[in-house]
Amino acid sequence: MTASVFFGCTFIAFGPAIALFLFTIARDPLRVIFLIAGAFFWLCSLLLSSLVWFITVQISNKESSSQQKGLLIFGVVLSVLLQETCRFGYYKLLKKANEGLLMLSAEETMPISIRQLAYVSGLGFGFMSGAFSMVNILADSVGPGTIGIHGDSQHYFLSSAFMTMAIVLLHMFWGVVFFDSCEKQHWWSLAVVVISHLLVSCLTFQNPQYVGSLVPTYIIVFLLGLWAFFCSGGSLRNLKLCLTCKDKDFLLANHRPR
């Protein structure tokens, strides 16, 4: 009976990520490699922040709940900052790698553009982050029971899944915006990325008021999605063309190779 909860939550949390992977990344091995490398960088940031967390918890006063709460907030903020730092580090690494690849390759053009790298690395961060958030919960959802024997809300699994989906999408959008603003040296948009990340993480402190944390998160997802769309070269005109199926004429008119 609750295998259905397991599959439902898996599909909700990882549906968009799987779809994106299948259609845009799986065919190109280079993209797959950079996706995995991005996931690894996220994992490094997690490692560092968990190390700091572990040490601070051990030396803290375990009895005082206010101290523990404060420690939690500190941990969340630190983790977010470390993730963004690792994203920056990955960006720098990719820039260097691109120069190196260009030197080595026979062709004139780079095999993968920095914009594609931004998207792929963001998705890699998202995959790993989603996995760590969700796998533990999915494992427990398989048994015949659900949350609530001590009075917690029953909607835990569902809201965790939606939150994870939001995080995955957000990481992808953050990746795109982040790399774009690094390219163009727009430091203020970088700051906005970091601040929105902090905002989303701190919204989860509203749990178990799931409405209070999920609704603002999805608003942020939508807004960032729009921003990322515009950053990566989209525009309203293109969107209208696509949706009204006039894109073929556009392409023919511009003689662009597919």
Partner 1 sequence: MGLESSKWAIIFLVCWLYKNVSCNSVEQKIYVELNNTVPCVRLLNATHQIGCQSSISGDTGVIHVLESEADLEWPLSKGPNPPYMVLLESSLFTRSIMMKMKNESNRVAGVAVVVPNTSPPEFSPHTTCPNENTGVYSDNYGPNLAHCNTTVWNPRGNGLSYEEFDFPVFSLKEDNETEFIKQCYLDHNRAVNGSAPQYPLCAMQLFSHMHAVTNTPTCMRRNDINFSINPEMVCDPLGDYNVWGSIRPYNDTVFGHKENESVVIAAARLDSRAFFWEVSTGAEGSVSGFVTLLAAAQALREVTHAAPPTRNILFAFFQGETFDYIGSSRMVYDMENGKFVIDLDNIHSVLEIGQVAVHSGTNLFLHSDPVSRRNNTVNDENLVNNLQSSTAGLGFLLVEPNVSQPLPPSSLQRFLRAQPIPGIVLADHESAFNNRYYESFYDNAANLNLTYPSDLSPEEQLEFVTDTAKSLTDVATVVARALYKQAGGDESLVNTIKADPKIVTQMLYGFLVSSNNSWFQAVMAPELKNILKPSPPEYYVGVAMSSTPTRLVQYLLANLTGAATNLTQSQCQKPDELPNESRQVGVPLDLSVCRWIDVQRITMLTLGVGVAVLFTSLLVTYFISTKADVLFSSTREPASAAY
Query: Which of 90, 160 has the CB closer to partner 1?
Result: 160
* Shortest Å distance, C-beta 14 to partner 1: 8
DSSP state letters, 71-134: HHHHHHHHHHHHHHHHHHHHHHHHHHHHHHHHHH-SSSS-SS-HHHHHHHHHHHHHHHHHHHHH
Distance CA 173, CA 159 (A): 21
* Shortest Å distance, C-beta 75 to partner 1: 7
* Shortest Å distance, C-beta 227 to partner 1: 14
Is residue 217 within 8 A of residue 203, CB to CB? The reply is yes
Query: Which of 80, 190 has the CB closer to partner 1?
Result: 80
Distance CA 159, CA 20 (A): 22
* Shortest Å distance, C-beta 230 to partner 1: 9
* Shortest Å distance, C-beta 96 to partner 1: 19
Q: What amino acid is encoded at 106 in this protein?
A: A
Q: What amino acid is encoded at 167 in this protein?
A: I
* Shortest Å distance, C-beta 5 to partner 1: 5
Contacts of 178 (CB under 8 A, 6+ apart): 84, 87, 88, 91, 118, 122, 190, 193
Distance CA 133, CA 140 (A): 13
Tokens of 206: 């509203």
